[in-house]
Structure 1
């Protein structure tokens, strides 16, 4: 058995634990169908034990952290929460006393979403690279300068440390753990059973430029950006986009930068390259992708891709295409 302890506290985000826990349970189910014993033993742990209420009002039964024998728990994961619930957890004397030793003796430890704040506050992440919720990246980096925050990754694996970004990415991270602990076939079966759209590898962005722009409800360019995404192979220069938006080029440029934080040219390139990355992960040829995303000839795509991601697109495809199988 592989005991997994989720560290929770009043006001924790329920999905940070229920999502990964369901994934681990799914792996046990898949093993059972093969006539094999369960692998994961799932437990919820809190400072004092007993019932702990999540931010959604749903309470869970927990074991007191002082009762957890260091070394007996092989994976320790801290759930995230909003700031007003996270700060009391960071200051909790029971967690501060017992969590470091539990982490030191574990085979693997980490956090889902903002749970990394608790680990960082205990000095357990110094010199490490981590992921966290997109909205918490800047505060995290400012509060813990010895920790490197990756603002793009869905999850980050740094030795024994596993951290995931916003909420549902804990599911992606748990699937990756299953792939490493057991095999990719089991992870794929779990993803299918839970009706997940895809098993997203950790390199994918947790919050794309497209979503970042569209999340602003008052954005005047939401419709235009949706059209851009569906027409990446079309001319997406400023004159064409300004005309489609019904603005002069100067007005369009100024308002677009204000709405998205990027120049039109930069925004278009980022969206095209993100699309190219997804297509490469499916094993498509560079020539085909180049035409689909509007970065032609392929040499132009290759140069832009390597400039942004630091790796040649062909090498990226070789490294990651099998992850979507």
Structure 2
């Protein structure tokens, strides 16, 4: 029997509870899906005991001294109150424990603003990381030695794993489980957690669909949702205007003012966003083009390269090579 992978999630007063419960739920679901436990999760704090989250809910934690830093295989810093995180950097005992754990762990990282503590302790110098979009500018300005990716949902740079805001911790931990147990296991866990979709790390923090729905006036919010569900159908101005019972001229003007993009540009944005996800499947380029409404692989390639600067084929190959080259740490394969 292989020893379980020891995971330590650091919490503190002001922590975001979903940054703790989301990842913990992923690893618990992995244990439920396997014949024997794969992960042993410890929720740690500096002193142990009850920790008050930002949601006014208490989390029962163990004192960090109860888990030797060298015993940790995966260390994660949960996000939360930024000032509270930066104050932790001045705790010498905690800083020493985190430095030792991150040095010996096969992987370490953060969820949401937890990356600020890693940066403040100098643990991610020269690394590419991400954090919640609202903290990206502050982090980049405060820690110029760290490369901050303000767009990605999560980033893997060597043994450093960081995720953006809140729910992206689930996406990142599913990717970790996939690395450990395989794609089929990760998909079963996502199904068990009733996730709408598994999101890859390269996907933007800023969903074009959600952004448009937040910005759009009431008459167009339902239309935007309909467009996202019917990408394989014609989404031209005459059809959309007819659906909204407007003249084409009035529809074009009002949609552009409301959404911030022309109907054609927005339809292409939705299609390309979905195409990036489908390119990570086994579907052919022709099949992807058909599913998202481009009609042909050539049209998809032209639009994809114009928008992202690479061909769909190169994007697919690059993503697969990155995943293949990131082999599992030795401690996980003994």
Q: CA RMSD in A?
A: 3.2
Aligned to 1:137: 136
Pick the aligned partner of 1:18 from 17, 21, 42: 21
Change (3 A) 1:130 1:264: farther
Change (3 A) 1:285 1:105: closer
**Deviation for aligned residue 1:249:** 5.5
The SS at the match of 1:299 is helix
Change (3 A) 1:82 1:256: farther
Are 1:112 and 1:163, in contact at CA under 8 Å, matched by a contact in 2? yes
Q: Unaligned regions of 5+ residues in structure 2, if any?
A: 324-334
* Aligned residue pairs, count: 315
**Deviation for aligned residue 1:178:** 1.8
The SS at the match of 1:63 is strand
**Cα distance in 1, alignment partners of residues 29 and 255 from structure 2:** 48
Q: Deviations over 1:296-320 (max 9, x none)?
A: 4432210221343454324555666
Say yes or no: does 1:9 pair with 2:5.
no
Change (3 A) 1:187 1:275: closer
Aligned to 1:99: 98
**Deviation for aligned residue 1:81:** 1.0
Are 2:76 and 2:110, in contact at CA under 8 Å, matched by a contact in 1? yes
**Cα distance in 2, alignment partners of residues 215 and 283 from structure 1:** 33
Aligned to 1:284: 283
**Deviation for aligned residue 1:163:** 0.8
Q: Unaligned regions of 5+ residues in structure 1, if any?
A: none
**Cα distance in 2, alignment partners of residues 246 and 227 from structure 1:** 17
Q: Deviations over 1:70-105 (max 9, x none)?
A: 311111100011445444445545433432232122
Aligned to 2:329: none
**Cα distance in 1, alignment partners of residues 216 and 85 from structure 2:** 28
Q: Deviations over 1:242-268 (max 9, x none)?
A: 7859588699559836x5555655433
Are 1:80 and 1:115, in contact at CA under 8 Å, matched by a contact in 2? yes
Change (3 A) 1:227 1:28: closer
Q: Which moved more, 1:241-250 or 1:187-196?
A: 241-250
**Deviation for aligned residue 1:292:** 4.2
Change (3 A) 1:292 1:197: closer
**Cα distance in 2, alignment partners of residues 235 and 192 from structure 1:** 31
Q: Deviations over 1:214-256 (max 9, x none)?
A: 124757642443343344442546x876785958869955983
**Cα distance in 1, alignment partners of residues 235 and 184 from structure 2:** 42
Aligned to 1:157: 156
After superposition, residues 28-43 of structure 1 pair within 5 angstroms as 28-31=31-34, 33=35, 36=36, 38-43=37-42
**Deviation for aligned residue 1:10:** 0.3
Q: Which moved more, 1:287-296 or 1:206-215?
A: 287-296
**Deviation for aligned residue 1:44:** 1.3
Aligned to 1:168: 167
**Cα distance in 1, alignment partners of residues 68 and 307 from structure 2:** 45
Change (3 A) 1:248 1:18: same
TM superposition score normalised by structure 1: 0.81
Q: Deviations over 1:121-169 (max 9, x none)?
A: 2222222112222333333333333322323322211101001122122
